[in-house]
Amino acid sequence: MTTLPNQTEKKLGLVIDLDICVGCHACVTACKGWNTENYGAPLADKDAYGAEPVGSFLNRIHSFEVQPETGPAQLIHFPKSCLHCEDAPCVTVCPTGASYKRTEDGIVLVNETDCIGCGLCAWACPYGAREMDPVEKVMKKCTLCVDRIYNDNLPEEDRQPACVRTCPSNARHFGDLGDPGSDVSKLVAARGGVDLMPEQGTKPVNQYLPPRPKDEEIDVLAPFLAPVTEDPKGFLGWLGKTLERLG
Domain that holds residue 205: 12-209
35 within some domain: yes
pLDDT digits (tens, 9 = 90+) for 162-179: 999 999 999 999 999 999
7 within some domain: no
228 within some domain: no
234 within some domain: no
227 within some domain: no
Q: What is the mean pLDDT of residues 52-79?
A: 87
pLDDT of residue 53: 82
The answer to which of 100-104, 113-117, 237-241 has the lowest mean pLDDT is 237-241
Written in H, E and C, the secondary structure of the chain is CCCCCCCCCCCEEEEEECCCCCCCCHHHHHHHHHHHHCCCCCCCEECCCCCCCEECCCCEEEEEEECCCCCCCEEEEEEECCCCCCCCHHHHCCCCCCEEECCCCCCEEECCCCCCCCCHHHHHCCCCCCEECCCCCCEECCCCCHHHHCCCCCCHHHCCCHHHHHCCCCCEEEEECCCCCCHHHHHHHHHCCECCCHHHCCCCCCEEECCCCCCCCCCCCHHHHCCCCCCCCHHHHHHHHHHHHHC
- Report how many domains make up the chain: 1
C-alpha of 23 from chain center: 9
**CA–CA dist 47, 241 (Å, integer):** 65
pLDDT of residue 93: 96
102 within some domain: yes
The CATH number linked to 92 is: 3.30.70.20
The answer to which of 60-74, 108-122, 179-193 has the lowest mean pLDDT is 60-74
**CA–CA dist 95, 119 (Å, integer):** 10
pLDDT digits (tens, 9 = 90+) for 219-233: 666 666 666 556 666
> Given a cut of 60, is residue 66 above it in pLDDT?
yes
**CA–CA dist 82, 97 (Å, integer):** 18
Question: Using CA of residue 209, residue 210, residue 215, residue 220, what is the dihedral sign?
Answer: positive
89 within some domain: yes
Average per-residue pLDDT in the chain? Answer: 88
> Given a cut of 70, is residue 236 above it in pLDDT?
no
Higher pLDDT, 232 or 130: 130
245 within some domain: no
pLDDT of residue 212: 81
pLDDT of residue 218: 59
**CA–CA dist 46, 145 (Å, integer):** 23
